[in-house]
Amino acid sequence: MTHIKICGIKHATHAFEAVQAGAQFLGFVFAESKRQVTIEKAKHISSQLPTHVKKVGVFVNASQEELEHTAKTVGLDFVQLHGDETPEFCKQLTVPYIKSFRVRNESDLKLTRKYDDADYLLLDSATGPYHGGNGTTFDWRLVEQLPFKKDRFILAGGLNQDNVKSAIDQTNPRVVDVSSGVELEGQKNINLIQSFIETVKENS
């Protein structure tokens, strides 16, 4: 079964609806972004969520101190790293981590081999001005060359209710991760969150 991560949560109601619909992971963006939340806000939302829901903090080139402090304060299960964090940096972390890769070609996939202690490896699009959350897809055929086991594979980048079935059929990820694709006019939309989750559940 494919698990679901709804990322860019800023409001408790969106978190509750996503969990009710069946999301297993929720993401809070602490990196600079239109989806950025404060530690206090994320902690407030996170403290009201069931323990089976995995809380993920999204960061870009944060220090080890910031990652670990935020994880402890908010009660994060994972930190998700979208910057230039090296394998050596990641190995020192005392919190479980997801490493993100911006995929253009096969050699981008080879980089994943260096992060052998990552809990999950997330493949995202390289198209767009931001480190993530661009709402663009990459060539899913590249996933055929995946150099790690599918049980650690998170597919991200431009997913939405219309393309997630073919994304799952083509790449068979452990987790699908969506942010832009469940937003309307820059805000999370409960109907889009529900229909994304329903589509994944029907097709995995």
**Active-site residue numbers?**
7, 124
Q: Which of residues 71-90 bind ligand LGQLAAA5 (CB under 6 A)?
A: 82
Q: How far is the CB of 124 from ligand LGQLAAA5 (least distance, A)?
A: 5
The one segment of 46-54, 87-95, 173-181, 190-198 that binds ligand LGQLAAA5 by CB under 6 A: 173-181
Residue with smaller CB distance to ligand LGQLAAA5, 7 or 193: 7
Among 17, 26, 101, 158, the residue binding ligand LGQLAAA5 under the rule CB under 6 A is 158
**Contact assessment for residue 88 and residue 111, using Cβ atoms and an 8 Å cutoff:** no
For residue 31, state whether it binds ligand LGQLAAA5 (rule: CB under 6 A): yes
Tally of helices (H runs) and strands (E runs) in the chain: 7, 10
> What's the CA gap between 43 and 129, in Å, rounded?
29
Structure tokens at 127: 């198209």
The mark string for 124-153 relative to ligand LGQLAAA5 (x by CB under 6 A, - otherwise) is x-----xxxxxx------------------
Q: Which of 78, 122, 113, 114 has its CA nearest to residue 97?
A: 78
Alpha helices in 120-189 (DSSP H): 164-171
Q: Give me the half-sphere count of Cα atoms (radius 13 Å) on the Cβ side of residue 115.
A: 30
Site for ligand LGQLAAA5 (CB under 6 A): which residue of 21, 118, 159, 200? 159
Instruction: Give the residue among 100, 82, 93 at the shortest CA–CA distance from 117.
Output: 93
- Kindly state the DSSP code that residue 195 receives in the 8-state scheme: H
Q: Which is nearer to ligand LGQLAAA5, 122 or 143 (CB)?
A: 122
Q: What number of chain residues touch ligand LGQLAAA5 (CB under 6 A)?
A: 27
Interacting residues with ligand LGQLAAA5 (CB under 6 A) = 7-8, 27, 29, 31, 33, 35, 58, 60, 82, 122, 124, 130-135, 156-159, 177-181
